Amino acid sequence: MTDTVLDIRDLSVFYGNAQAIDGISLSLARGEMLSLIGANGAGKSTLFKAICGMVAPRTGAITVKGRPLAGLRPAAITELGVAMVPEGRRLFRSLSVEENLVLGGYVKRPGPWTLDRVYSIFPILRERRHQPATALSGGQQQMVAIGRALMSNPDLLLLDELSLGLAPVVIKDIYALLPQILGEGLATILVEQDVTRALSVSDHFVCMLEGHVSLQGRSDAFTHQQISAAYFGT
């Protein structure tokens, strides 16, 4: 019995003739958090899209808990236990806060996350539950996006740019809640522009540059200069 939740082997993704990901391999076990860092256009969001089934890899394989994702539609991948907090939150604008959260649990996987549990982590959302989700502040919208992803009781959580567009104090609050949120044995990949913050909360990191891995390892195993060089390709 393996604890590996996600395994990616030699993954390549193209948009037309443009290669967005070039032969990436990585794996992630239950309870681990991996930071995925890299400049804009490095291929981080494309990797998330490939895991979620929103783009089809040209070569390579992705497996979740030993199950190959090739040919599966996004909905089927969600049923396997993959959830994503997308960049920019992308809440459903015609749905209330509570409706967004309930829709997150559409696949009804068994697990600890319920509406009450999400409200207990983010009490403000209970107060605002009948308001349109997009009428909330940026930080509160990010709470809805996180809660919505958790409602499917995922085994693998993909967090894309958690701090994008948020005030520093809000980012601090959200990151303070992460251990509580992720303490359920979730495997998590965090994409974050704030590299220092990302490395401080993760066990491992992968640095991407122009579609390939330029550096990877334990978060505390490299100097700032080494990570900078891998990040900028210098």
Partner 1 sequence: MDWINVIIQGVLIGGLYALFAAGLSLIFGVMRLVNISHGDFIVGAAYVAFAVIQMTGLHPLVSLVIVVPLFALLGYALQLGLLNRVLGGDILPPLIVTFGLSIIVQNGLLTLFTADSRRLDAGAIEVESLNLMPGVDIGYMPLMTFVSAVAIIAGLQFLFYRTTMGRAFRATSDDGEIAQIMGLDNRKVFGWAMGLAMAVVAVAGVFLAIRANFDPFMGPSRLIFGFEAVIIGGLGNLWGTLAGGIILGVAQGIGAHIDPGWQLLAGHIAFLAILAVRPRGLFPRVD
By beta-carbon proximity to partner 1, the closer residue of 13 and 227 is 13
Tokens of 170: 């809000």
Could you tell me where the DSSP H helices lie in 94-167?
Answer: 97-104, 115-121, 123-127, 138-150
By beta-carbon proximity to partner 1, the closer residue of 152 and 214 is 152
Tokens of 127: 């107060």
97 binds partner 1 (CB under 8 A): no
> Taking the complex as a whole, how short is the minimal distance between the CB of residue 52 and partner 1, in angstroms?
5
115 binds partner 1 (CB under 8 A): no
The overall longest dimension of the chain from CA atoms, in Å, is 50
By beta-carbon proximity to partner 1, the closer residue of 147 and 199 is 147
106 binds partner 1 (CB under 8 A): yes
Rounded to an integer, what distance in angstroms lies between the CA atom of residue 147 and that of residue 139? Answer: 12
The radius of gyration of the chain's CA atoms, rounded to the nearest angstrom, is: 17
Which of 59, 68, 70, 93 binds partner 1 (CB under 8 A)? It is: 93
Q: Cα separations (Å) of 18 from 14, 15, 43, 62, 92?
A: 5, 5, 11, 21, 31
- By rule CB under 8 A, what string of x and - marks binding of each residue 56-75 to partner 1? -----------------xxx
Do 151 and 102 touch, CB atoms closer than 8 A? yes
173 binds partner 1 (CB under 8 A): no
Looking up tokens 């992308």, which residue turns up? 90
Of the candidates 29, 33, 31, 28, the residue with the CA atom closest to the CA atom of residue 8: 28
By beta-carbon proximity to partner 1, the closer residue of 145 and 207 is 145
44 binds partner 1 (CB under 8 A): no
Name which of residues 125 to 164 contact partner 1 (CB under 8 A).
148, 152
| Interacting residue ranges for partner 1, rule: CB under 8 A | 52-54, 73-75, 77-79, 82-84, 86, 90, 92-95, 99, 102-104, 106-107, 148, 152
